[in-house]
Amino acid sequence: MRLVVARCSVDYTGRLTAHLPLAPRLLILKADGSVLVHSDGGSYKPLNWMSPPATLRTTERSAAEAEADPEGAWIQQWDVTHTKTGDTLRVRIHELIEESAHELGEDPGLQKDGVEAHLQALLAEHIHTLGEGWSLVRREYGTAIGPVDILARDAKGRAVAVEIKRRGEIDGVEQLTRYLELLNRDPLLAPVRGIFAAQIIKPQARVLAQDRGIECVTLDYDALRGMDDAESRLF
Who's near 92: CB < 8 A, 6+ residues apart?
A: 8, 9, 10, 11, 72, 74, 76, 77
Under CATH, which number does the domain 116-232 receive?
3.40.1350.10
> Per residue in 99-116, pLDDT tens?
999 998 888 775 555 578
The residues spanned by each domain of the chain are: 2-101, 116-232
Between CA 100 and CA 20 the distance in angstroms is 23
- Taking 50 as the threshold, does the pLDDT of residue 234 lie above it? no
> Per residue in 150-209, pLDDT tens?
999 999 999 999 999 989 999 999 999 999 999 999 999 999 999 999 999 999 999 999
Between CA 118 and CA 171 the distance in angstroms is 20
Q: Are 172 and 165 in contact (CB under 8 A)?
A: yes
- Taking 90 as the threshold, does the pLDDT of residue 56 lie above it? yes
Who's near 179: CB < 8 A, 6+ residues apart?
A: 143, 145, 146, 148, 161, 163, 194
Mark out the alpha helices in the chain (DSSP H runs). Answer: 63-68, 116-125, 170-183, 203-211, 221-224
* pTM for this model (two decimals): 0.54
In this prediction, what percent of the chain has a pLDDT beyond 90? 77
Under CATH, which number does the domain 2-101 receive?
2.70.180.20
